[in-house]
Structure 1
Amino acid sequence: MSTLQVKEIGDYLVNFRRNLHLEPELSNEEFETTRKIKEALLSQDISILNLPLKTGVVAEIKGSQPGPTIALRCDIDALPILEQSEVSFTSKRQGVMHACGHDFHTSVILGTAFLLKKEENNLAGTIRLIFQPAEETGHGARAILDTHALDDVDVIFGLHNDPTLKIGELGTKHGALTAGVDRFEIHVTSTGAHAAKPEEGNDPIIITGHIISSLQTIISRNVPPRETAVVSITQIHSGSTWNVIPDTAYLEGTVRTFSKTQRAFIQKRMEQISHGIGVTFNAKVELVWHPGPPSVDNAPEWADFALEVGAKAGYKTRVVEASSIGEDFAFYQEKLPGAFVMIGSGGPFDLHHPKFVVDEAALLPASEYFQLLAVEALGKLKQG
């Protein structure tokens, strides 16, 4: 079984990533993606752990000498978006697209695995490579954690491409890098009536208007200006025709926070507002809360380390601002220390845009960076 040279690895990764992009799969449906990853790993004699995973892969490269264990994580799922990028390898699956660059992330860590395999005889320790499913649902990390494959890991690193950073730029920061992400639903149940006789009913649309106005005061009147949080209502449904006051209304939205304190406070305040408005208007107002991942919370020591290694690898490094996007890498950081880094992918379209593209020139350098990061992290841990 031939070992790929660095230039061959670069060419392989471009082709591999394009193949994933052609055939994207949604969260928890990444069966072909999983098969392709396993096939690629086995082609270079890289060990795959036998774990009870529906989709996704955890591989391992064990050095010839004992030592610590680190993990490198990428995500593999796509989004329900109709692609409009017009690249030659546009998605063949109608309405499904790698619009967040997970095909890029997967290819980067696959390349890292190939590079590390070439030097496994010189490694003192173990590197676990996580190809995680279902990041877009916010809960794929838990499936990996439930296998206990990370129980003996000392530190974990993850990546995301960033279209706002140029090719050759790499960034991260101490503490909160992404937001905690929660989803909420509000169900209003009241009494319908003829539109000409509103006094005979209890208009849920009026009630909904008060809910919307009141929820927006949470940020402006309860969250200190020095802190950041978002409450966004993204769906409203009520009624079915022009001359009938309906008896129900429905709202849905998201809350984004960067601290556990604000996260808990906003949920409590929304419950108080919903209950209070229900009492005021003699209606049933029910808040349903769907907790998602918390904030990615980088350990300062490892965030600094990631930037230092980035500079060694030839990147222009920078401390980036926190982003209100969500990332379930945060669940790993609840169990063990680590850092999440942003790799410049060149833009011009943002994540989740139907015209989103990644500059493939960023692929091999990112793989080489994570190879160096893994080796240096083993050395740092070995030194204590």
Structure 2
Amino acid sequence: MTTISATFREQAASLQSKLVSMRRELHRFPELSNEEFETTKRIRAWLTEAGVRLLDLGLPTGVLAEVKGAHPGPTIMLRADIDALPVNEETGLPFASEVPGKMHACGHDFHTTSMIGAAKLLHDHADELHGTVRILFQPAEEQAVGARAVLEAGALEGVSAIFGMHNKPELPVGTVGIRTGPLMASVDRFEIDIFGKGGHAGVPEAVVDPVVVSSAIVTSLQTLVSRNVSPHYSAVVSVCKLQAGSSWNVIPDTAVLEGTVRTFEPEARAIIPDRMKQVVEGVAAGYGAEARLNWTSMLPAVNNDPAMAEMMRRAAEAQGLRVVEAVPTMGGEDFALYQERIPGCFIWMGTGGTEQWHHPRFTLNEDAIAISAALFAEAAVLGLKSIG
């Protein structure tokens, strides 16, 4: 592996300026989830120019490419996401977004160009591959609907393992975070409708105030974690929206709460919905109001397979990168849906940025692009041999 590892590093370095140019073009013209039409055209054009074969993904946006090795073997997948966010960019960069209110504030442009680089490296070494590598450029990750569409399109059929990443601003370039087990939390959404009785603000005894009920529910929901979930588990309940009333002197009839629950463990995730329903309805009844909980299960936790995580560690070490234990986050990722079907590993790629994801001044160090391309080409080669 030493020879091909060095070759990947050298060839990726020679691609760096071109990959940076691609990334900056994507950055200037960001597109939101399921609107990535021009992004899709650009990716297809760049892969075609590199000689990489394109498959029919069967979706309006997104790209599926394939590098078929000269020798028989399994099929594995590398995945990048391609959508941007509804954020107004404030970086002041010369290649800043030219689309008002839209920005690659999560670094998906970095993920995309890194995987284009990996595809090119693998294509140039197809005669050495024992199996097939598919490279997926997935749409609509930010809305948590892209992976489901990809699965329904059958893109994972015949695939034995999957690998992906997210940039990590707090990790320096040349460092990767890898972890076995949960890395990103499950994502569930709730909406609570509260029904009281409105009236004059100066006559509170004649009303059932849904604002007061809402406040009590928000406070009580914190006991879901502190008194219902084992201290050995991790969970977060966040109420992110409280909407009620339209005037300063009128108590409204209704209020609406919306929020999210994040966990790493399936056991904790299973407990919370029923217990939340009991708390919501019980608190409301105590005030003479009614409440209705609407629960939406969205994503499981990103859960790294031990063998795949170990394989990624070996790939990173072969590329001379510093490997650290990845710190989990309560953020979610629809990469988890692939891991429900097949083993996989999702890692943090150090990009030495100045701000966290989704910030209007989010930036990253572009030196990480070639490093990432070489790493995932290495991982593909190792993965095919390990699985085969």
TM-score range (shorter-chain normalised) is over 0.9
Deviation for aligned residue 1:227 = 1.8
Structure 1 pair 5/179, CA: closer, same or farther in 2 (3 Å)?
closer
Alignment of 1:45-56 (within 5 A): 45-56=51-62
Deviation for aligned residue 1:318 = 1.1
Partners of 1:241 and 1:51 in 2: CA distance: 51
- The aligned residue for residue 184 of structure 2 is 178
**2:34·2:140 contact (CA, 8 Å) conserved in 1?**
yes
- The aligned residue for residue 281 of structure 2 is 275
Deviation for aligned residue 1:8 = 4.4
The partner residue of 2:234 within 220, 228, 232 is 228
The partner residue of 1:342 within 328, 348, 353 is 348
- The aligned residue for residue 43 of structure 1 is 49
> What is the letter of the counterpart of residue 59 of structure 2?
L
Structure 1 pair 6/315, CA: closer, same or farther in 2 (3 Å)?
closer
- The aligned residue for residue 264 of structure 1 is 270
Partner deviation per Cα, 1:251-298 (whole Å, 9 max, x = no partner): 111111001111121111111111212332332211111222111000
- The aligned residue for residue 121 of structure 2 is 115
Q: Indicate whether 1:96 and 2:102 are aligned.
A: yes
The partner residue of 1:83 within 84, 89, 105 is 89
- The aligned residue for residue 358 of structure 1 is 364
**2:211·2:244 contact (CA, 8 Å) conserved in 1?**
yes
SS in 2 for 1:341: strand
Partners of 2:160 and 2:42 in 1: CA distance: 28
> What is the letter of the counterpart of residue 67 of structure 2?
I
> What is the letter of the counterpart of residue 175 of structure 2?
E
Structure 1 pair 233/6, CA: closer, same or farther in 2 (3 Å)?
closer
Paired-residue identity, %: 46
Where does the alignment leave 5 or more consecutive residues of structure 2 unmatched? 1-9
Partners of 2:283 and 2:330 in 1: CA distance: 29
The partner residue of 1:31 within 25, 31, 37 is 37
**1:189·1:248 contact (CA, 8 Å) conserved in 2?**
yes
Deviation for aligned residue 1:122 = 1.8
**1:191·1:247 contact (CA, 8 Å) conserved in 2?**
yes
**2:77·2:136 contact (CA, 8 Å) conserved in 1?**
yes
Alignment of 1:319-330 (within 5 A): 319-330=325-336
SS in 1 for 2:94: coil
Q: Indicate whether 1:254 and 2:260 are aligned.
A: yes
**2:229·2:271 contact (CA, 8 Å) conserved in 1?**
no
**1:235·1:253 contact (CA, 8 Å) conserved in 2?**
yes
> What is the letter of the counterpart of residue 49 of structure 1?
L
SS in 2 for 1:188: strand
Deviation for aligned residue 1:160 = 0.6
Alignment of 1:183-198 (within 5 A): 183-198=189-204
Partner deviation per Cα, 1:118-154 (whole Å, 9 max, x = no partner): 0112212100000000001112111111111211011
**1:78·1:99 contact (CA, 8 Å) conserved in 2?**
yes
> What is the letter of the counterpart of residue 274 of structure 1?
V
Alignment of 1:301-316 (within 5 A): 301-316=307-322
**1:171·1:307 contact (CA, 8 Å) conserved in 2?**
no
Q: How many residues align?
A: 379
Where does the alignment leave 5 or more consecutive residues of structure 1 unmatched? none
- The aligned residue for residue 203 of structure 1 is 209
**1:307·1:318 contact (CA, 8 Å) conserved in 2?**
no
SS in 2 for 1:271: helix
- The aligned residue for residue 79 of structure 2 is 73
SS in 2 for 1:358: coil
Partners of 2:234 and 2:50 in 1: CA distance: 46
**1:9·1:114 contact (CA, 8 Å) conserved in 2?**
no
> What is the letter of the counterpart of residue 31 of structure 1?
F
Deviation for aligned residue 1:5 = 5.7
